A and B are shown apart, each in its own frame.
Chain A
Amino acid sequence: MNETILFAVISLSAIGVISAVILYFVAQKFKVIEDPRIDIVNEKLPGANCGGCGLAGCRAFAEELVKTGDLSKLNCPVGGSDTMKEIAAVLGLVAEEKDPMIAVVRCNGSRANAPQKVSYEGASSCAFAHYLSAGESGCPNGCLGLGDCVVSCKFDAIYISEETGLPVVSDEKCVACGACVTACPRSIIELRKKGKKDRRIFVSCVNTEKGGPAKKNCSVACIGCGKCVKECPYEAITLVNNLAYIDYDKCRLCRKCEPVCPTGAILELNFPPRKEKAGDAEKTPEPVVAG
């Protein structure tokens, strides 16, 4: 009996010692020397692995950063400039100041503004609905409301409003990783400057049709009249393909374009209410703001 136990103990110990020796040599032989800074940089990153930087996850981003030692082309949109500064400090570099960005949904074709003309039935995928037809409202550029952007968001920052059927981006949660921009088959979502106090002005429409057809499907479509272009004192607005676009780098948030838009396609977010002016009373009521 005792002999059996003794034998078992000795043989097990022997196996353990031999394995340890083998493992030691194997570990020495196949040792991978990695730059320790990669680990440090990796720890500074948010760790969401969202792919917003264009690389496959945070680790890959850290490796690329350390390898190239160049901050100009790489940016972590999630961490923002604070994170980039910390990383720059680790690597002994200087990070450029980058404005915080946010995803903006450039369509206001809610159920009220763009009434349903046909009823869609099928896979709940914007990409497929886009491939199949122009969509329920008939607008070939408008939001389909099936939520490909919601599925793509890793930060739970976007949801489809029950009332309007349009996606709503949360100012707090959105990290501007750009996943929804890629997911949207109609390129409705754009990353724009977050703006001071979250104030933003943008054309909430991407319809490139002429005025008539565009207006037929949606009451708040941009009809490409060009009034805002003339009004803008900073040449921030351009008109291409019957569609106005406000350049967020040039825009100084003066709010002059919004009142001249005849369809209410220009949206202002988070501004204090305007003072009543003569002529405002004639205007149609403000469209439902969904942004």
Chain B
Amino acid sequence: MKTFALGGVHPEENKLSADKAIETLPLPGKVYVPVSQSLGAPSKVVVEKGAIVKTGQLIAKGESFISANVHSPVSGKVAKIDEVIDASGYKRQAVFIDVEGDEWDESIDRSPEIIREISAGRDTIVRKINEMGVVGLGGATFPSHVKLMVPDGKKAEYLLINGVECEPYLTSDHRLMLERGEEMLIGIQILKKALGVNKAFIGIENNKPDAISHLKTLCIKFEGIEVVPLKVKYPQGGEKQLIKAVVNREVPSGKLPIEVGCVVNNVGTAFAVYEAIQKNKPLIERVVTVTGKSVSKPANFMVRIGTPVSALIDQAGGLPDDTGKVISGGPMMGKALTSLDAPVVKGTSGILIMPENESRRAPQVNCIRCGRCITVCPMGLEPVLLAQLSENQLFERTEKERIMDCIECGSCHYTCPAGRPLLDYLRLGKNKTGILIRNRGKK
């Protein structure tokens, strides 16, 4: 069984909602759609207060190369354009829409029929993916059309589809592969066409045998798509780790996957690409897992973007009494929410509710220099050293020790027997070192 070579950990899987079929969440009364939902420059709002919008209508336009369009996830009236508190408690510009009915834009094909014929040409695909606001749904929300534009002098050889879902608890990708497998495979064929590659691999960890066998059966009908079962190991869903595991190539430090001829996309993105191209449907909803040990009804919901997190939690049986922490995303890389009013955005893969007794960290003791953080680091870094240097603000040295290679997977802090907040300091150091490098570039 394939996997990546360096480091890695095995957190408890806790996939509580793995056998829960995707349910469509009832429409909320109000949605708050943040204008900037992807990496890159914020988009510009193109609707005004009081405007009537249809589901799927463009409400914010991405104006720079790396930015993505945002569409109205519901139909109704624009209540205001104001600031909303995002997952981390900071204010972000958002469009507030009061939901009225569910009237879709006419151009969108809402029939359940699967369209297998790919009629769009290469340029049309890229243009449409851009128009429809498709971004990477694995979490980083990198605009997808940018990934499809291979820089001059580089050539894409393989398309890698990330169905690893190595984060504990989360099952949204798993359910999507089971229930929308065929659409997803058509999406992969579209991506292959856009990139001009002949071979695509779907990497799936072998804790999802049903998804592996289901997709393997479906793949018989599709040319040039291969399912690659992978040994369970975190962080296999990291782009660089996945490439290493599937095609055994190492992306050089500081470079993008295209350097080794690979393009990586998430299964959710492949499905969104199918909908965008074949059904003309913008990215206005996604699958979100709501889970946690005390949650009475863990579930996978198809949720409109902009729905408040609290609406999802209510549908999953309400907030448990012993809640200590609510996380957007998985337990290894997710962000702790400061408020349950924060909206679901394109990058929200799950809502994890941790009970009180699991949400506090263990007390810190002295580092015993066991070196486990070094052993588990998938990038071959020395987290203990980098954390020390960051704490002492020696950012010239952190750069030399390659802090910018850190993928923030959290394996170091996960494994630390002394409970030291290694990743906290690494993030800080990475942030400051990045500023240092950018300032140097300006001079």
The answer to whether any beta carbons of A and B sit under 8 Å apart in the complex is yes
Residues of A within 8 A of B (CB): 117-118, 121-123, 125, 127-128, 131-135, 138, 140, 209, 213
* A134 pairs with B90, CB closer than 8 A: yes
Q: Mark B248-283, 1 if CB is under 8 A from A, else 0.
A: 000000000000000000000000000000000000
Look across to chain A and name the residue whose beta carbon is closest to the beta carbon of B421: A123
Contact with A along B85-97 (1 / 0, CB 8 A): 1001111000000
Q: Chain A contacts of B91 at CB under 8 A?
A: 140, 209, 213
Assess the B336–A133 pair: CB atoms within 8 A: yes
- Bound together, the chains give a CA A20 to CA B170 distance in angstroms of 77
Contact B428 A127 (CB under 8 A): yes
In the assembled complex, 18 residue pairs joining A and B whose CB atoms fall closer than 8 Å, in A order, are A118-B89, A123-B424, A125-B391, A127-B428, A127-B432, A128-B425, A128-B427, A128-B428, A132-B88, A133-B88, A133-B90, A133-B338, A134-B85, A134-B88, A134-B89, A140-B89, A140-B91, A209-B83
Give min CB distance, A187 to chain B, whole Å: 15
Most buried by B among A128, A133, A135, A209: A128
- A117 and B338 CA atoms in complex are apart in Å by 8
A128 to B90, CA, bound (A): 14
**Contact flags B19-34 to A (C-beta < 8 A → 1, else 0):** 0000000000000000
Q: In the complex, A127 Cα to B427 Cα: how many Å?
A: 10
**Is B428's CB under 8 angstroms from A131's CB?**
yes
Tell me the smallest distance from the CB of B319 to a CB of chain A, in Å: 15
Q: Are B83 and A213 in contact (CB under 8 A)?
A: yes
Complex CA distance for A121 and B89, rounded to whole angstroms: 15
Q: How far is the CB of B336 from chain A (nearest CB, A)?
A: 7
Question: B69-102 toward A: CB 8 Å interface, digit per residue (1/0)?
Answer: 0000000000000010100111100000000000
Looking at chain B's contact residues, is the secondary structure mostly helix, strand, loop, or mixed? mixed
Known pairs A131-B431, A138-B338 / 11 extra A-B pairs, C-beta < 8 Å: A117-B338, A122-B421, A125-B425, A125-B428, A128-B425, A132-B424, A133-B338, A135-B89, A140-B89, A140-B90, A209-B83
A134 in contact with B338 (CB, 8 Å): yes
**Chain A nearest CB: distance from B312 CB in Å?**
19
User: Count of chain B residues with Cβ under 8 Å from any Cβ of A?
Assistant: 19
How far does the alpha carbon of A207 sit from the alpha carbon of B118 in the complex, in Å? 53
In the complex, B400 has a CB within 8 A of chain A = no
**Chain A residues whose CB sits within 8 angstroms of the CB of B428 once the complex forms:** 123, 125, 127-128, 131
Taking Cβ atoms with an 8 Å cutoff, the residues of B that contact A are 83, 85, 88-91, 336, 338-339, 360-361, 391, 421, 424-425, 427-428, 431-432
The answer to whether A121 and B360 touch (CB under 8 A), given A131-B431, A140-B89, A213-B91, is yes
Chain B residue contacts of A135, Cβ below 8 A: 89
> Which of A121, A138, A140, A213 has a CB less than 8 Å from the CB of B361?
A121
Q: Which residue of B lies closest to A139 (CB)?
A: B89
Smallest Cβ distance from A248 to chain B, in angstroms? 29
> How many angstroms between the C-alpha atoms of A131 and B427 in the bound complex?
9
Residues of B within 8 A of A133 (CB): 88-90, 336, 338
The reply to whether A125 and B424 contact each other, CB–CB distance below 8 Å, is yes
Report how far A135 CA is from B361 CA in the complex, Å.
Answer: 18
Complex Cα gap A251–B427 (Å) = 42
Please give the distance in Å from B292's CB to the nearest CB on chain A: 18
A253 to chain B, nearest CB (A): 35
Contacts of B336 on A, CB cut-off 8 Å?
A: 133
Bound complex: CA A118 to CA B341 (Å): 14
Give A132's nearest chain B residue, CB to CB.
B88
Instruction: Point out the residues of chain B lying under 8 angstroms from A140, CB to CB.
Output: 89-91
Establish whether residues A128 and B83, one from each chain, have CB atoms under 8 Å apart when the complex forms: no
Distance of A125 Cα from B421 Cα, bound (Å): 11
Q: Which residue of A lies closest to B425 (CB)?
A: A123
Instruction: Report which residue of B90, B336, B428, B431 has the largest number of chain A beta carbons within 10 angstroms of its beta carbon.
Output: B428
Closest 7 A/B residue pairs (Cβ)? A134-B89, A123-B424, A133-B88, A128-B428, A123-B421, A133-B89, A122-B424
CA distance A131 to B423 in the complex (A): 13
What chain B residues lie within 8 Å of A131 (beta carbons)? Answer: 427-428, 431
* Cα of A183 to Cα of B85 in the assembled complex, Å: 26
Residues of B within 8 Å of A121, CB to CB, are 360-361
Partner among B85, B88, B424 whose Cβ is within 8 Å of the Cβ of A128: B424
Distance in Å from the Cβ of B358 to the closest Cβ of chain A? 13
Chain A residues with CB under 8 Å of B360's CB are 121
Q: How many angstroms from the CA of A116 to the CA of B428 in the assembled complex?
A: 24
What chain A residues lie within 8 Å of B425 (beta carbons)?
123, 125, 128
CA distance A118 to B83 in the complex (A): 20
CB distance from A183 to the nearest CB of B (A): 9
Find chain B residues with CB under 8 A from A118 CB.
89, 338
A252 to chain B, nearest CB (A): 36
Expressed in whole angstroms, the minimum distance between the Cβ of B326 and any Cβ of chain A is 10
CB distance from A286 to the nearest CB of B (A): 29
Assembled-state Cα–Cα distance A118/B339 (Å): 8
Closest residue on chain B to residue A128 by CB atoms: B428
The residue on B at minimum CB distance from A118 is: B338
A115 to chain B, nearest CB (A): 14
Nearest-Cβ distance from residue B355 to partner chain A, whole angstroms: 15
**Assembly CA distance A117 to B339 (angstroms):** 9
Please indicate the chain A residues that have their CB under 8 angstroms from the CB of B391 in the complex. Answer: 123, 125
Shortest B388–chain A CB gap in Å is 12
Report the nearest A residue to B360, measured CB to CB: A121
B residues less than 8 Å from A138 (CB atoms) = 89, 338-339
Note all chain A residues with C-beta closer than 8 A to B88: 132-134
Which one of A127, A135, A209, A213 has the highest number of Cβ atoms from chain B below 10 Å of its Cβ? A127
Question: Closest CB of chain A to B331's CB: distance in Å?
Answer: 15
- The residues of A that contact B338 with a CB separation of less than 8 Å are 117-118, 133-134, 138
Q: Which residues of A contact B424 (CB under 8 A)?
A: 122-123, 125, 128, 132
Bound Cα distance from A122 to B427, whole angstroms: 12
Q: How far is the CB of A214 from chain B (nearest CB, A)?
A: 11
Minimum C-beta distance from A182 to chain B (A): 11
Give Cα A25–Cα B427 distance, bound, in whole angstroms.
Answer: 54
Bound state CA distance, A14 and B90, in angstroms?
Answer: 77
Of B88, B338, B421, the most chain A CB neighbours within 10 A belong to B338
A131 to B428 Cα, complex, angstroms: 8
B361 contacts which chain A residues (CB < 8 A)?
A: 121-122
Q: Which residues of B contact A134 (CB under 8 A)?
A: 85, 88-90, 338
Interface-central residue, B89, B360, B361, B425, by most chain A CB under 10 Å? B89
Residues of chain B lying within 8 A (CB to CB) of residue A132: 88, 424, 427
In the assembled complex, the CB of B403 is this many whole angstroms from the nearest CB of chain A, namely 14
CA distance A98 to B89 in the complex (A): 42
